[in-house]
Structure 1
Amino acid sequence: MIFEVNSIEETKAIGYNLGKALNSGDIICLTGDLGTGKTHITKGIAEGLEINEPITSPTFTIVNEYHSGRLTLFHFDVYRVNDPDEIYAIGFDDYIFSDGVSIIEWANYIEEILPKDYIHIFIEKDLSKGENYRKITINTYGEKYDYVKNINLA
């Protein structure tokens, strides 16, 4: 699925619609350059999960946990992870194989340790089309996520 958006609100709306449909144990991997909107789409997902806490990027802590929604959200930022052992040391498997929803920003940095089934969201910007233009590509891996193809995300 490919979406073209022209505002932060539209980016968050895609996340919100996805968040409303997510299930226990779902894993979302986010990739894209700095400033493309990975945290904005995460904020939308959190709203869809009915989380009423401010969402911030866990750049220096690796993972933030949010327990106030219909499902717990584990929000990872692995931008500063230099070795997969670092993420294993915080109990990565315990998080992603739990009943919560896991969102992993910069998932491409730990590709070799990702499970085989996940939702991948790739966000690109094209400044020639405007400062807020983003192309959001969503792919699913594993039959578990076939349901995502039937969600109206726009």
Structure 2
Amino acid sequence: MTDPLSLALPDPDATDALGAWLAQTRPPRAVVYLEGELGSGKSSLARALLRALGVTGPVRSPTYTLVERYPVPGGEALHLDLYRIADPGELEYLALDALADEAVLWLIEWPQRGGAGLPPADLRLRLTVAGEGRRCEADAGSPVGRDWLGRLARICPDSVIS
């Protein structure tokens, strides 16, 4: 694939900027795994990306609902938070297969809890706390993700890439 991209996110504005860059370079269809510990910024980044895609109104964390749906250009974005999933078999109750045709963007927090019941990642974003800010390690999981990561690397300022 391509080399991972390491990004410094020193403050919430930087996370919002990353969301905007991801929206600007987004392919027509993609699956994004958002990985990291509690408080690492997964929901904040998902919210920033959805806002940059034109979502207005509340953008809720799907911690309790498990999935939130949002209209975005080209179809629908699904934002999943699988923290409360104890077994991948529980995904069956979310009826994700019925939503898959309309979903042009999947944003999946805690994907390791979904196992093989999830579509494979095009892009993996691993968020960690770094001092007062965050770090994001982005790497591709498919040719779509590799192309997306390449476009992202071309528009990110050098001050963010480390």
When the two structures are superposed, what TM-score results if normalisation uses the length of structure 2?
0.82
Matches within 5 A, 1:79-90: 79-90=83-94
CA–CA distance in structure 1, aligned partners of residues 127 and 121 of structure 2: 19
Give the partner amino acid of 1:86. Answer: E
Q: Which runs of 5+ in 1 are unaligned?
A: none
Percent of aligned pairs with the same residue? 22
CA–CA distance in structure 2, aligned partners of residues 113 and 48 of structure 1: 28
How many Å apart are 1:27 and its aligned residue?
Answer: 0.6
The corresponding residue for 2:160 is none
Matches within 5 A, 1:25-64: 25-64=29-68
Kindly tell me: are residues 35 and 121 of structure 1, through their superposed partners in 2, closer, same or farther at Cα, counting changes over 3 Å?
same
Q: Which runs of 5+ in 2 are unaligned?
A: 158-162
Give the partner amino acid of 1:144. Answer: V
Q: Is the 8 A contact 2:122 2:140 kept in 1?
A: yes
| Structure 1 stretch displaced more, 80-89 or 96-105 | 96-105
3-state SS of paired residue (1:82): coil
- CA RMSD of superposed structures (Å): 1.8
The corresponding residue for 1:20 is 24
Matches within 5 A, 1:1-154: 1-67=5-71, 69-70=72-73, 71-96=75-100, 98-126=102-130, 129=131, 131=132, 133-148=133-148, 149-151=150-152, 152-154=155-157
Kindly tell me: are residues 98 and 23 of structure 1, through their superposed partners in 2, closer, same or farther at Cα, counting changes over 3 Å?
farther
Moved over 4 A (4+): none
Q: Is the 8 A contact 1:26 1:102 kept in 2?
A: yes
Q: Is the 8 A contact 2:28 2:104 kept in 1?
A: yes
When the two structures are superposed, what TM-score results if normalisation uses the length of structure 1?
0.86
Kindly tell me: are residues 137 and 96 of structure 1, through their superposed partners in 2, closer, same or farther at Cα, counting changes over 3 Å?
farther
Kindly tell me: are residues 2 and 10 of structure 1, through their superposed partners in 2, closer, same or farther at Cα, counting changes over 3 Å?
same
CA–CA distance in structure 2, aligned partners of residues 83 and 93 of structure 1: 17
Give the partner amino acid of 1:91. Answer: A
Q: Is the 8 A contact 1:59 1:79 kept in 2?
A: yes
